[in-house]
Amino acid sequence: MKRKLLIAVSAVGILLATGCSRDAEYFSKMKSIHQVKVINIGATTVGKTSYTEIEYEYNNKKSEKRFADHEDNGLKEYYDSAKLFKKELYLDLVVDEDDEIVVAALSKEDSSNDTK
C-alpha cells in the first residue's frame, strides 16, 4: 500500500514538474511593449472564433496584433470614447511567442492625464 502511494505521489510530482516547466517556458518567451499609440481597435472573426485586433504605432512603425481571445474587457469602448474626445490612447502590451496579445492595459502616463 505504501509503495503504491509513493508511486502515485511521485507520478503526480513528475506531472506537476513537467507542467510547471512548460508554463515557465511559455512565460519566459513573453515580451512587454510599453507606450504603444493606438491607431485603431477592431474585431475580426476567423472560423467561429472572434478576435479583438489592435492596430498601433511603436517606434514610428505601424503594427497590428490581436487578442488570443475575444474578451477585451471594454477596451474597444474606451478607445471609441477617447476618439470621441479627440484623445490619444496609449497601451502597455504583453505579447506571447505567437505575437498574440495576452494582456493590454492603459499606460500609466496616459491614464494619469485623464484624471483631472
> Could you report the per-residue pLDDT of 84-111, keeping only the tens digit for each?
998 998 988 888 888 778 888 888 764 4
Distance of CA 91 to the CA centre of its chain: 11
Dihedral sign computed on CA atoms, order 116, 40, 50, 91: negative
Instruction: Sketch out the chain's domains with CATH numbers.
Output: 30-114 (2.40.50)
Return the pLDDT at 7.
66
The predicted pLDDT at position 22 comes to 72
Contact 52, 43 (CB under 8 A): yes
- Bridge-based pairing of strands 61-67 and 100-106 is parallel
Q: What is the pTM of this model?
A: 0.65
Q: Which of 79, 101, 102 is nearest to 89 (CA)?
A: 79
Residue 113 is predicted with a pLDDT of 42
pLDDT digits (tens, 9 = 90+) for 42-84: 888 888 887 888 899 988 888 888 776 666 667 888 888 988 9
